[in-house]
Each structure stands twice: as C-alpha cells, then as structure tokens.
C-alpha cells in the first residue's frame, strides 16, 4: 500500500506486472495459502489479493486486462473532478497543432499517440512518453491524408486511421505500435466522413461515412457492414458496459444508442450558447454501472462535462481551448486527464481523485 501512494511508483509497478503472468502468480499464491494454518487471521486469500490489486487500479492495465479503448470503469470522485484545474505538463510534442486531428492513449506502454492534423495533412504520427516526458515523431507514417479525422486505439497495439480528404476518402489501415509501421486494410464501403470521430468496442470499429450511415468493421473477420442507423455529423464514443454508442451531434443532441435493443436514450442537451464545432472532441468515462461522465470541447472555447448522476452539463475549471479544438485523453493508471490546445506544444495535466 505504501508503494501505491505515488503515481510514479504505481506506473513502475504496472509495467513490471505487465511482463508477468498474473494468473500464474495468483495460482502459486493459492497453493501456498492452502498449506497455511486455517486459524491464522493474518493470511490473505487469493480474492483478497485480487481485490487489493483492483483497489490499486493495477489490474486494469495488466496485459491480461488491457483496456478496450478508453471506456473502462473509472471511479472518479465527482467533487475532485469538478474542482480540478489545469496545470502545465512536461509532456511536449514537436507539432504545435491540435487542429483537425486527434489523440489516443495506451496506458500500458505509457504513451499518447497523436496525429498531426492539419500539419502535414495528418501523415505524421507522434508517440509521447508520459513518464519520460519525451516525444518521438514518425514522418509520413500514414500514407494518405488524414486531415479532419481522429485515430482509434484497439486497446492492444493498433491505432487505426481513415482517409478523409483526397481521392474517394475510402482508404483505411492501422499503425502498429510494436513495429512502428503502417498496414493497409480493406477499403471502407463508403467514403469516410471527416470530422466524425470513430470509436472502438469489443473487436469492432464504428465509423460514420459520407452517406450518414454508421458502419461497423469487424477486426478479426476484416469485414464491413452497415448499421440501421443514420446520424450525419457526430462524435462517437463507446460504452462497452451497456453495448451502446454515445453520440454528440452538431444540432446539440446528446444521446445513447443501444446496439442490442436499438433503443435510444436522449440526455439533456447543452445550453443554446454552446456550438459543437468541427474540431470538437468527446471523451466518455463510465464511473459505475449507474453513472458516467462525458467530456466535450465546444466552439464556446470551454471544456464541459456531462455528469449523468446530476443529469447536467458542468463547465470545467480547465484552461480554455481555441476554436473548440483540443486533444483529450484519460490515463487510468495515474487517474489524470491530459489535453493539448490548438497551436501549443505543451500538454496540460489534470489529476483527479478516485472514489
């Protein structure tokens, strides 16, 4: 427990556990405990150890429990979250733009993956090491322009990209975080719709195309199929807990679509003064089975959060963004948000408490 008191030690502990087979260790522990005296109250059970690991939030980042995108449970303390403020972060990027691009996080490798947006038309990929505060640039890593689109992380090692400008806008592929190389895949069935961020959930990628339909890509089968859902220009996020797509639309509609029941749940929309810009980003975090937090950047130059427990939007005490444009990720290891503003090199750091 003393080791868990600092985020840096938690990160080091998580990286160490990542290289081990946790289940084998627990099995060994179980065999040892079987031979222990039954009346020894100081002995912890295997479940006690598992619970302790969960409390340390280490299990969520061990290889056997890797995140599926950025929609895992994050029991954030609401008061800490609402009172949180920006602070400068040492993580810097060579690229000053956050405009018309996007970023995702790999909490196991401890890196933020950022695309260059309208700088070099999105061909460059940046890997930012959170703990070492270093940035690595891969020039022309993506063979086609990606201006106006956002990358998708599969929770393992692939970051997917869509073509969104030149040609027919139907090319598609991924950047491998291990080999640092790009792999082209089967083209989209319909040209991709720029400024409509896709999302990943349970082995599938959901994306909006030019015909305003949502298409699903099965990663294992490498097949595309359309959903019976037309949405236009939206931001998508995934909620694996309810098997739903979370959507925020330019017309200020905010709703959740259950993929199994096809039921639609509409939430209170942001005030009229808000305007969902073309560069807005959307981050969905589920706190528990009952409630969630959804963070979005708007053309009003502020970052807002919808807190389902309170059923309302709250303006965050974070640094204002420009033109509604800011890369935004959440690190489940250290319980902190990171975001980068259009035109700046530095990222901003927002630590929060956990329940």
Domains and CATH numbers, the chain: 3-65 (no CATH), 78-351 (2.130.10.10)
Report how far residue 55's alpha carbon sits from residue 75's, in angstroms, rounded to the nearest whole number: 10
pLDDT at 59: 44
Looking at the DSSP bridge assignments, the partners of residue 216 are 206, 225
The pLDDT profile of the chain, 355 residues, written as one tens digit per residue, is 555 455 555 555 665 665 555 666 566 556 555 555 555 555 555 556 555 555 554 444 443 333 333 446 788 999 999 999 999 888 888 877 766 778 899 988 899 998 877 666 678 899 999 989 999 999 888 888 666 667 899 888 999 988 866 566 788 899 999 999 999 998 888 887 777 788 998 889 999 888 888 999 999 999 999 998 888 778 889 998 899 999 887 666 789 999 999 999 988 876 665 555 556 678 999 998 889 999 988 767 788 899 999 999 999 999 988 776 788 999 988 889 999 888 888 899 999 998 7
Report how far residue 298's alpha carbon sits from residue 303's, in angstroms, rounded to the nearest whole number: 7
Contacts made by residues 286-293, CB under 8 angstroms, sequence distance 24+: 286/71, 286/72, 286/73, 286/74, 286/239, 286/241, 287/73, 287/74, 287/75, 287/76, 287/78, 287/355, 288/73, 288/75, 289/241, 292/239, 293/74, 293/76, 293/81
**Angle formed at CA 86 by CA 300 and CA 329, multiple of 5 degrees:** 80
pLDDT at 206: 94
Cβ neighbors of 148 (< 8 A, separation 6 or more) are 100, 118, 122, 164, 165, 194, 195, 278
pLDDT at 176: 95
Residue 247: C-alpha distances to residues 171, 173, 227 (Å): 24, 24, 15
Q: Using CB atoms within 10 Å of the CB of residue 113, give its burial: 0 to 12 exposed, 13 to 18 middle, 19+ buried.
A: buried
pLDDT at 69: 39
Residue among 333, 337, 355 nearest 347 (CA) = 337
Report how far residue 204's alpha carbon sits from residue 216's, in angstroms, rounded to the nearest whole number: 6
Work out the number of other CB atoms within 10 angstroms of the CB of residue 147: 22
For the chain, how big is the Rg over CA atoms in Å? 21
């Amino acid at each position: 427990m003393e080791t868990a008191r600092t985020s840096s030690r938690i990160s080091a502990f998580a990286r160490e556990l990542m290289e081990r087979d946790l289940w084998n260790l627990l099995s060994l522990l179980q065999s040892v405990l079987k031979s222990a005296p039954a009346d020894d109250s100081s002995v912890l059970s295997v479940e006690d150890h598992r619970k302790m690991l969960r409390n340390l939030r280490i299990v969520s980042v061990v290889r056997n429990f890797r995140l599926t995108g950025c929609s895992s449970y994050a029991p954030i303390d609401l008061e800490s979250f609402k009172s949180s403020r920006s602070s400068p972060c040492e993580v810097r990027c060579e690229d000053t733009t956050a405009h018309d691009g996007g970023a995702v996080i790999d909490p196991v490798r401890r890196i933020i993956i950022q695309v260059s947006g309208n700088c070099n038309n999105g061909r460059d990929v940046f890997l930012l090491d959170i703990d070492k505060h270093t940035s690595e640039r891969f020039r022309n890593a993506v063979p086609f322009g990606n201006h106006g689109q956002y990358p998708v992380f599969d929770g393992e090692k692939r970051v997917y990209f869509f073509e969104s400008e030149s040609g027919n806008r139907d090319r598609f592929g991924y950047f491998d975080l291990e080999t640092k190389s790009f792999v082209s895949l089967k083209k989209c069935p319909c040209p991709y719709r720029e400024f409509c961020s896709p999302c990943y959930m349970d082995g599938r990628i959901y994306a909006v195309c030019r015909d305003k339909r949502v298409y699903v890509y099965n990663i294992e089968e490498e097949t595309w199929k359309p959903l019976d859902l037309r949405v236009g220009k939206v931001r998508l996020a995934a909620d694996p807990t309810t098997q739903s797509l979370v959507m925020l639309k330019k017309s200020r509609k905010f709703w959740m679509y259950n993929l199994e029941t096809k039921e639609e749940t509409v939430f209170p929309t942001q005030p009229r003064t808000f305007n969902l810009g073309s560069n807005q980003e959307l981050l969905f975090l589920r706190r528990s089975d009952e409630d969630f937090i959804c963070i979005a950047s708007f053309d009003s130059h502020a970052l807002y959060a919808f807190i389902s427990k309170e059923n309302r939007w709250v303006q965050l005490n974070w640094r204002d963004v420009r033109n509604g444009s800011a890369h935004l990720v959440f690190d489940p290891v250290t319980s902190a948000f990171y975001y980068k503003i259009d035109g700046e090199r530095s990222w901003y750091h927002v630590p929060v408490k956990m329940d």
